[in-house]
Structure formats: C-alpha cells, structure tokens
Amino acid sequence: REAITAVQIERTYTKKEILSMYLNVAYFGRGAYGLESAAQLYFDKSASELTLPETALLIGMLRSPSRYDPISHPQRAIAIREVVLRNMLNDGELTEAEFAKARSAPLNVKYHGPSTGLAPHFVEMVRQALEKEAEKYGFDIYRDGLTVYTTLDTRMQEYANQAVDQHLQQYQKMFDSRWNWKKNQSILWSAIDKAIKDNPEYDDAPTPQAKKEVYNRLKSNSFFVDSVRKAEQTIQVGFVCIDPKTGYIKALVGASNYKQFKYGLNHVTQIKRQPGSAFKPFVYTVAIDNGYPPSYKLLNQPVTIIMPDGTRWTPQNFEGEFGGEVTLRDALKYSLNVVAIRAIQEIAPVNEVIDYAHRMGITTYIPPYPSIAIGTAEVIPLELTSAYGVFANEGVLTKPIFILKIEDKNGNVIESSTPQPTEVLSKQTAYIMTDMMRGVVNGGTGSRVRNYFYLDCAGKTGTTQDYADAWYVGYTPQLVAGIWVGFDDNRVHFTDADGQGGRAAAPIWGMFMKGVYDDRSIGMPVTSFVQPEGVVTATICAQTGKLATEFCPDKVTEIFNAKYLPPVCDVHTSPSSSKIPQPSGKIGY
C-alpha cells in the first residue's frame, strides 16, 4: 500500500516538493514534528536560519531521532552528521573545504524544550500528574485539547527565578574558586566511572572488549571528563513556595539550570536529603505541646548517644561552643545541637517526635533514634516546607496541591481539587513555635533574611555534615517557602561556613519574599502573626524561670500556653533573697 501511495505522489509532485512535504511532518525526536519545530527545539532558530552542519545533523537524526539525539548522545550525533556531510561531498554538493569546515563545527545545540519557560519543573510535574489521570479517565493529554488550571502564580514564579539566579550566580563562582578536585580525585574518578557506565555507547557495546574500548576512549576524552566535572560541581537548588491555607503551590524552581531543563530532576519533589537542624522544630513542637515553655532550660554540655549500630556518638554544636544552661528559645535561635539532643532525651520522646512529624505531613521513614533530633532522617523538600506551613496556618495542615481543575475541550470539568485542611497542632503550640522561630530570623542563624526582608516572619536554617546540604524554610502569615541547596553527588560539598543554611539558602528566601511583598500587583497584605487566645505573656524570673516576684533580680518576659503557666518564684521571696546564691544544677522552668 505504501508503494502505491508513493507512486501516486510521485506523479503529482516533484521530488523537491515530496522532500519538503516529508520534512514538514517527519519526526525529529523530543516531540518535534517537522523541520521547523526541530530547528526551534534544538537550535532555537527558524529552519531558514540553519547552518549547513545544523541541517546535516537534523537530516541524519531522521534515521533514529532517539539514537542520534544530540543532547543525550553528542558523540553519536557528530558521527551521523558526518555521514550526511560525506554523502553530500560524494554527490558533489560540497567542496572538500566546505566538508572539512562543517564536519569540525561544534554541535552548537541550544535545546529549547517544549517545557521551558518560566517554570519548567512545575509544568513537568503537572504533565506527569496528568498522565496518571489520563489512565484513570481515559483521555489523551496531548490530543484532547484539555484546559488545565494550576495553582502557579507567574508573578511569584518570576521572583523565585530571579532570587535563585542572583544568589547562585555569586555562590557558584565562589564555590568554583574554592573546590579543589586535586584533593578530591577519588570522587571525580568514581563519578567519571559511573558516567561512562551510564553512557548508552558503553551500554550498546556488544562485547567486553568493545566496552573496554569505549571506556578507555571516554576516560581520555577531555570534553567528556570536563562535562562530568562541571555537572559534579554544579550547585543545585530546590525552591518551593506554598500558600499554607490552601496548600496551593505558588512558585517552584526545580533545579539551578532550569532554563535549559536538560536535566529534569526536580529538587523539590524528587530528592530525599537530611534536613539537619531544619528538623529541630518538630522536636521543640513536641516539647512545647508537652507543656514546657520556651524559657525552659537544658544543659548546653556535650552528650553522648548510642547509635543504632551500637557505636557511641558525641555531637558537636556548630560553633563548637558549650557552657551552662540555655532556654529552648535560645537553643533553637542559635541552633545548638547538643540541646536538641538533650531535648529529645529528656522532654520530647523520640516516638512522639516521629508521630508529630508524620502528622504534619512528612511521609518518609524516620528511624526511632535520638540522632533524628539534629536531622539525620531524610526528607523531601516539598514535605518539609509544607510541614512548616502548619505553624503559619495556626496548626492546620493543608497538603500541597498544584492542579486546580481539568476541563475537556467543551469546558466540562473532568476533575477539580479542593483543599483538605486538617488540624494537627493546637493554635497555641503553633504560635509559640512561630514566636520562637521569629528569633531565628531576628538575631539567630537565619538573620541574613533581614538583609532583604523586613516584615514579620519566622523560619529555621539547616546544615548537614561537611556542609553537604544547606536549608532554609520560613514563613510569613501568608506564605511558606523552603529552599534546599546542595549537590547531586552529596560527596561534593561546600568547604566552609558559607555552606551553612543561613548563608547558602536563607538569602534566596529573603530576596523572594521582598520581591513578592513589594509588588503591589500581587497585593500581599502586610500583617503580623496573631497571638491567639490561650497564649499569655508573663514576666518571669530569669534565674528560676518561674513567675517573677517583686524581689527577683533579673526579669524577662516570655509567652506561655495559659494551661501551663509556671508557679511563682520561690527563691526570691523577700528583699534579702535576691542575694542568696542561686542553687546549682538544673533548674526546672
């Protein structure tokens, strides 16, 4: 049948016309049908502007668009381009000089994927969700002319992109000048080894001998080695902003190179990393919920814990400072590791912490060991961010959503989603935690936020071992946003204190919120967190933590859950008592 069709066509059209008709519909891979779309997709230009080597590549790709894909398989693409050019040379369409020049030209691919634009990772997340829905409802997402309403706010997305770009440009430069591959040779060689074994060319090699040849060729190919090195030292990022009342994802940046979208990994939804100190709010939430006030003191002294494998471990504070007792408020503000460990041992039992984290939306496995207090259990950035939304939303969890409504081409609603709020914490506990996390921003480890953003906000930094992961999750009364910054290969890491969450991640948060709240077209209200009924402010004795008498020498104000007000100070009960030396040892309240 095809032969007959071809004959009929040949009678009516010239060869050139047939060729151009064919080129108008032929498949060039990655969803591109026709030469014009292919030119746009791969070279970001019109077909009429293509150079000779570019045209030759696209023609060569027709044989098997995926096999000769210039993005996944640049070497194969160069080889097939050369085949086409050589045919043209043999047919006398090219001179030797033209041939030589074209064959040595770089591929020059400027991949402009269909998913690029403001929020490619968000769009891809929507596409993947639609594909799942398609099975359920039996629609074809590419042909049925569906209209999909999403939760994305394009204005907020612009600010997210800008904040990430601006911060990472500077950070990448700084990192590149400090990271030393000579000191990390073994990481580089194992990364190259892995990249070669993942390469389809290696995979396709038929015999062990052929594989060995491919292996050695790639290993000594400086272009290949450079590309691995560059990928290894690229700072990655996941940024997400959610409206905690509705769960709507308002902005999402899935990677640092989101513009090319060559690399589809979404670092908001598809990675699991240790949160470090960004996990501590779950510990302190349990303590507060169990009736311990922010003024409760714990010893800031080294503590040794037994690890799951039976080894002993003595965690350090990041700044290495120990001494005396500190309040829960200050321990969170300055992110003191040993106090978080003592809290989980003394006032916030491990199983309760796990239970609270799960209730607040963490679905990843949290092993029942004290080390989780400083964030050794991996989490997904989206879930951690959403969990902080519970504090912003007065104890109510609304799980993140990103598709509002799907309509068919006639405007019939196929599916729509509505927020499902669940109360998971008391208003009082949520507010007390917010007030403690205000301290993190105001003078604590997250104070770089204040270089950009001045309105009421709260949050927590996180940093993991060897500066492999930097986190900041924070919120205003209206929005919660979380940022993870790190490397895809977590053996690559920041080299000094610039890898702390407060420096590597928090500035992105500040820049983003400044942009959003300054933009009148978005119209975010300027409000403060509201102290709810059931939370009271009281003056307490700084020494005993109990309600102050007129004789207490140092007084501070603190907020309390009204249910758990401390008793009146019983040390300073008369004018002379303020001179009595305070008892040693741990003091409750």
Residues that bind Zn ion (CB under 5 A): 541, 544, 552, 569, 571-572
Nearer to Zn ion by Cβ, of 443 and 583: the residue is: 583
Closest residue by Cα to residue 561 from 183, 313, 294, 264: 294
Tally the C-alpha atoms within 13 A of residue 23's C-alpha that lie toward its C-beta: 17
Neighbours of 70 (CB within 10 A): 24
Q: Least Å distance between CB 545 and Zn ion? A: 9
C-beta pairs of 194-199 under 8 Å, 24+ apart in sequence = 195/224, 195/228, 195/231
Least Å from the CB of residue 558 to Zn ion: 13
- How far apart are CB 540 and Zn ion at their closest, in Å? 8
For the chain, what is the radius of gyration of the CA atoms? 30
Q: Dihedral angle at the C-alpha atoms of 471, 504, 314, 303, nearest 10 degrees? A: -70
Q: Minimum CB separation from Zn ion for residue 551, in Å?
A: 7
Q: Of 148 and 571, which CB lies nearer to Zn ion in the complex structure?
A: 571
* 100's tokens: 């030589």
C-beta separation of 282 from 357 below 8 A: yes
- C-beta of residue 464 within 8 angstroms of C-beta of residue 487: no
CA distance 471 to 374: 13
Write down the least CB distance from residue 334 to Zn ion, Å.
Answer: 24
| Residue at token pair 């359920």 | 136
Least Å distance between CB 555 and Zn ion?
8
Closest to 248 measured CA to CA, from 117, 156, 356: 156
> Smaller CB distance to Zn ion: residue 277 or 544?
544
Residue that the structure tokens 């309105």 belong to: 455
**Shortest CB 295 distance to Zn ion, Å:** 12
Give me the least distance between CB of 552 and Zn ion, in Å please: 3
| Closer residue to Zn ion (CB): 203 or 570 | 570
Provide the edge-to-edge strand list for the sheet that holds 413-416.
147-150, 403-407, 413-416
Residue nearer to Zn ion on the CB measure, 429 or 544: 544
| Minimum separation from the CB atom of position 268 to Zn ion (A) | 48
* Of residues 495 and 577, the one with the C-beta less far from Zn ion: 577
* Residue 139: alpha-carbon gap to chain centroid: 31
Taking alpha carbons only, the member of 63, 64, 54 closest to residue 85 is 54
Closest contact distance (angstroms) between CB of 294 and Zn ion is 18
Give the residue with the Cβ less far from Zn ion, 66 or 574.
574
Q: Given the complex with Zn ion, which of 134 and 568 has the nearer CB atom? A: 568
Compare residues 81 and 546 and give the one whose CB is closer to Zn ion: 546
Closest CA to 61 of 93, 38, 44: 38
* Nearer CB in complex with Zn ion: 340/571: 571
Distances (CA, A) of 413 to 135, 136, 409, 417, 442: 17, 15, 10, 11, 47
User: Do residues 79 and 61 touch, judged by C-beta distance below 8 A?
Assistant: no
Do residues 487 and 429 make contact, with C-beta atoms less than 8 angstroms apart? no
Maximum Cα interatomic distance, the chain, rounded to a whole number of Å: 116
